[in-house]
Amino acid sequence: MYEDASQVVILALFFATFGVSNASALASNATKAKVSAISVFSILDRKSKNDTSSDEGMMLENVTGDIEFSNVSFKYPSRPDVQIFSDFTLHIPSRKTIALVGESGSGKSTIISLLERFYDPDSGSISVDGVEIKSLRISWLRDQMGLVGQEPVLFNDTIRANITNGKHGEVTEEEVTGVAKAANAHEFISSLPQGYDTLVGEKGVQLSGGQKQRVAIVRAIIKDPKILLLDEATSALDAESERIVQDALDRVMVSRTTIVVAHRLSTIKGADAIAVLKEGKIAEKGNHEALVRIKDGVYASLVELRSNSK
């Protein structure tokens, strides 16, 4: 009898010890989880330095799209030891097309990020129509720009919804089809069984690369932006898709200030000016014909390198 009782006591002590041990571990995990949660929520609650919901700032009338970068210096906050721009200056006249070329990391896409105010320069100024963009309402500023990137972000919705997402307020059927025709997209959209009501799937999986880009172009210009930003918009396409998309871009670039970031010659040769970036500065600037004539020039070397790689 006593042996049975002692065994019960030993078992009870064992389970009690096991329970206390587990409780200590759980308490430790709970503390870690609390610290992690505080960190996550502090990030979620953090307000962007450039608040798109703010009503502060000017809104200009009759925007022409004249752009000026003046003595801009910039480092990414995540890479404070890497100087992207130092005393960088560039003028882009209204309704002209400028192509930005250079090696990876030379700052081409950073120009677009700064113009959209995803970041602000550490020093210097950026202006549109002579007005520093820091004094403009940020949501209004971005409405003046249409951005087409290398990999368009399409929502799991209809083609129509993806297009009209680019403009505030009501969008008429005539507006949608008119812009789609200009972007070489109306014909392929109309050939689909559901037309503009076709679901594109997650990330536009139901469409080809060229079709996705044309939908992205329509979305970018449905709001009639004065400035068009093309960041490697055709680099991921095959030759035939590139030809169709480039033709669409050539149409919608008319009467707009356009910044083209690209490495394909077919995309940049027709630009009014080409700015060659090297180590955060403009090494050369001019049209294609002028730049290829510069002996041992940076642009001429890039052209030769790409021609030899074909």
Give 289-304 pLDDT, tens digit per residue.
999 999 888 898 888 8
> What domain range is 58 assigned to?
47-144+225-310
Retrieve residue 89's tokens: 């200056």
Q: Is 247 helix (H, G, I), strand (E, B) or coil?
A: helix
Residues 108 and 245 in one domain: yes
Residues 246 and 293 in one domain: yes
Read off the pTM. Answer: 0.79
What are 169-224's pLDDT values in tens digits? 888 999 999 999 988 899 999 999 899 999 998 888 888 888 998 899 899 989 98
**226, 65 Cβ separation under 8 angstroms:** yes
- What CATH number corresponds to the domain at position 300? 3.40.50.300
Report the range of poorest mean pLDDT among 152-156, 170-174, 236-240, 298-302.
Answer: 236-240
- Domain termination residue (choose one: 215, 233, 266): 215
What whole-number distance in Å separates Cα of residue 216 and Cα of residue 210? 10
Angle between helices 209-221 and 239-252 (to 10 degrees): 10
**121, 85 Cβ separation under 8 angstroms:** yes
Q: Decide if 293 is inside a domain.
A: yes
Residues 51 and 140 in one domain: yes
Give Cβ neighbours of residue 242 (< 8 Å, ≥ 6 apart): 210, 234, 264, 266
269 has pLDDT over 80: yes
Residues 101 and 170 in one domain: no
Q: Decide if 42 is inside a domain.
A: no
Residues 123 and 241 in one domain: yes
Domain count, the chain: 2
What whole-number distance in Å separates Cα of residue 238 and Cα of residue 208? 11
